[in-house]
Amino acid sequence: MSTPSNLERRDFLRRLAAGGLVLAVGPAGIRGLKALPAFFAAGDPLQASVYLSVGEDGLVTVTCHRSEMGQGVRTALCMVIADELEADWTTIRLEQAIGDPKYGNQNTDGSSSIRTGQYAMLRTAGAAAREMLERAAAAEWSVPETQVSARNGTVVHATTGRSLPFGRLVARARSLPVPAAPRLKDASQFRFIGKDVTGLDMHAILTGRATFGQDAKMAGMKIAVILHPPVYGASVATVDSAAALQVTGVERVITLATTPIPSGFQPLGGVAVIAGSTWAAMQGRRALKVTWTASPNDTHDSEAYRTALETSARAPGRVVRKQGDVAAALSGSAQKVTAEYYAPHLAQAPMEPPAAVANVSADGCEIWTCTQDPQSARNEVATALKIPKEKVICHVTLLGGAFGRKSKPDYIVEAALLSREMKAPVKVVWTREDDIQNGFPHTVAFQHLEAALDAKGRVGAWLHRVASPSINSTFAPGVTDLSDGELALGILDLPYAIPNLQVESCRAEGHSRIGWYRSVSNIPHAFAISSFVDELAHAAGRDPRDFILELLGPDHIVDMANAGAVKPVDNYGDTWAAHPIDTARYRKVVELVTKAAGWGKKLPKGEGLGLAVHRSFLTYVAVVVHARVSATGEIVLPRVDIAMDCGFVVHPERVRSQAEGAVIMGLSNAMTSELSFKNGRVAQSNFNTYKVLRMSAAPRELHVHLAASGGPPGGVGEPGVPPVAPALANAIFAATGKRIRSLPVGSQLAGAG
pLDDT given for residue 103 in this prediction: 81
Residues 551 and 418 placed together within one structural domain of the fold: no
Q: Has residue 573 got a pLDDT over 80?
A: yes
Residues 101 and 227 placed together within one structural domain of the fold: no
Residues 28 and 158 placed together within one structural domain of the fold: yes
Cis peptide before 712 (omega within 30 of 0): no
- Kindly indicate the confidence band of residue 3, based on its pLDDT and cuts at 50, 70 and 90: very low
pLDDT given for residue 121 in this prediction: 85
Residue 333 · residue 453 · CB < 8 Å: yes
Residue 454 CA neighbour count, 13 Å, CB half: 9
Residue that is last in its domain, among 191, 206, 221: 206
Coil vs helix vs strand at 81: helix
Give per-residue pLDDT as tens, 740-750.
Answer: 999 999 989 97
198 or 415: which leads in pLDDT:
415
Instruction: Give the residue-averaged pLDDT of 727-751.
Output: 95
Instruction: Give the residue-averaged pLDDT of 127-131.
Output: 93
pLDDT given for residue 118 in this prediction: 78
List Cα–Cα distances, 659 to 257, 643, 666, in angstroms. 42, 9, 10
Residue 197 lies in a domain: yes
In degrees and rounded to multiples of 5, residue 151 shows phi and psi of: -145, 110
Residue 597 lies in a domain: yes
* Residue 543 burial (10 A CB sphere; 0-12, 13-18, 19+): middle
pLDDT given for residue 325 in this prediction: 98
| Strand 364-369, strand 60-64: pairing | unpaired
Query: The domain that contains 123 carries what CATH number?
Result: 3.30.365.10
List Cα–Cα distances, 442 to 112, 349, 515, 654, 682, in angstroms. 20, 11, 6, 25, 13
Give per-residue pLDDT as tens, 237-277.
Answer: 999 999 999 999 999 999 999 999 999 999 999 999 999 99
Residues 201 and 220 placed together within one structural domain of the fold: no
Residues 361 and 338 placed together within one structural domain of the fold: no
Residue 302 lies in a domain: no
pLDDT given for residue 26 in this prediction: 59
Give per-residue pLDDT as tens, 442-489.
Answer: 999 999 999 999 999 999 999 999 999 999 999 999 999 999 999 999
Residues 645 and 609 placed together within one structural domain of the fold: yes
Instruction: Give the residue-averaged pLDDT of 696-710.
Output: 94
- Kindly indicate the confidence band of residue 31, based on its pLDDT and cuts at 50, 70 and 90: low
Residue 95 · residue 63 · CB < 8 Å: yes
What residues does 323 pair with on adjacent strands?
A: 501
Give per-residue pLDDT as tens, 385-444.
Answer: 999 999 999 999 999 999 999 999 999 999 999 999 999 999 999 999 999 999 999 999
pLDDT given for residue 319 in this prediction: 98
Residues 497 and 381 placed together within one structural domain of the fold: no
Sheet with 702-706: strands ordered across: 607-616, 619-629, 635-645, 702-706
Instruction: Give the residue-averaged pLDDT of 131-150.
Output: 96
Helical pair 544-552 and 583-597, crossing angle rounded to 10 deg: 170
> For the chain, how many helices (H) and strands (E)?
18, 29
Residue 224 lies in a domain: yes
Element (H, E) at 316: none
Residues 242 and 179 placed together within one structural domain of the fold: no
Residue 21 · residue 179 · CB < 8 Å: no
- Domains held by the chain: number: 3
pLDDT given for residue 6 in this prediction: 45
Q: Has residue 28 got a pLDDT over 70?
A: no
Residues 479 and 622 placed together within one structural domain of the fold: yes
List Cα–Cα distances, 450 to 322, 523, 565, 588, 648, in angstroms. 14, 20, 19, 28, 37
Q: Has residue 52 got a pLDDT over 90?
A: no
Other Cβ atoms within 10 Å of 541 Cβ, number: 9
- Kindly indicate the confidence band of residue 180, based on its pLDDT and cuts at 50, 70 and 90: confident
Residue 456 lies in a domain: yes
Can you say how many angstroms the Cα of residue 206 is from the centroid of all Cα atoms in its chain?
Answer: 23
Give per-residue pLDDT as tens, 590-623.
Answer: 999 999 999 999 999 999 999 999 999 999 999 9
pLDDT given for residue 586 in this prediction: 98
Residues 513 and 585 placed together within one structural domain of the fold: yes
Instruction: Give the residue-averaged pLDDT of 326-340.
Output: 97
Give per-residue pLDDT as tens, 524-533.
Answer: 999 999 999 9
Residue 272 · residue 254 · CB < 8 Å: yes
Residue 53 lies in a domain: yes
Instruction: Give the residue-averaged pLDDT of 29-37.
Output: 49
Full domain range(s) for residue 361: 213-295+354-429
Quick one: DSSP state of residue 259? P
Instruction: Give the residue-averaged pLDDT of 100-114.
Output: 88
Residue 435 lies in a domain: no
For residue 573, is it left (φ>0), alpha (ψ between -120 and 50) or beta? left
Residue that is last in its domain, among 176, 206, 236: 206
113 or 603: which leads in pLDDT:
603
Task: Compute the distance between CA of residue 322 and CA of residue 325 in angstroms, rounded to an integer.
Answer: 8
pLDDT given for residue 175 in this prediction: 86
Percent of the chain predicted with pLDDT > 70: 93
633 or 28: which leads in pLDDT:
633
Q: Has residue 360 got a pLDDT over 60?
A: yes
Angle at 348 between CA 342 and CA 352, to 5 degrees: 160
Q: Has residue 328 got a pLDDT over 90?
A: yes
pLDDT given for residue 750 in this prediction: 79
Residues 526 and 610 placed together within one structural domain of the fold: yes
Which of 678, 679, 676 minimizes the C-alpha distance to 298? 679
Residue 434 lies in a domain: no
Task: Compute the distance between CA of residue 639 and CA of residue 623 in angstroms, rounded to an integer.
Answer: 11
Residues 418 and 513 placed together within one structural domain of the fold: no
Instruction: Give the residue-averaged pLDDT of 181-192.
Output: 94
Residue 395 · residue 213 · CB < 8 Å: no
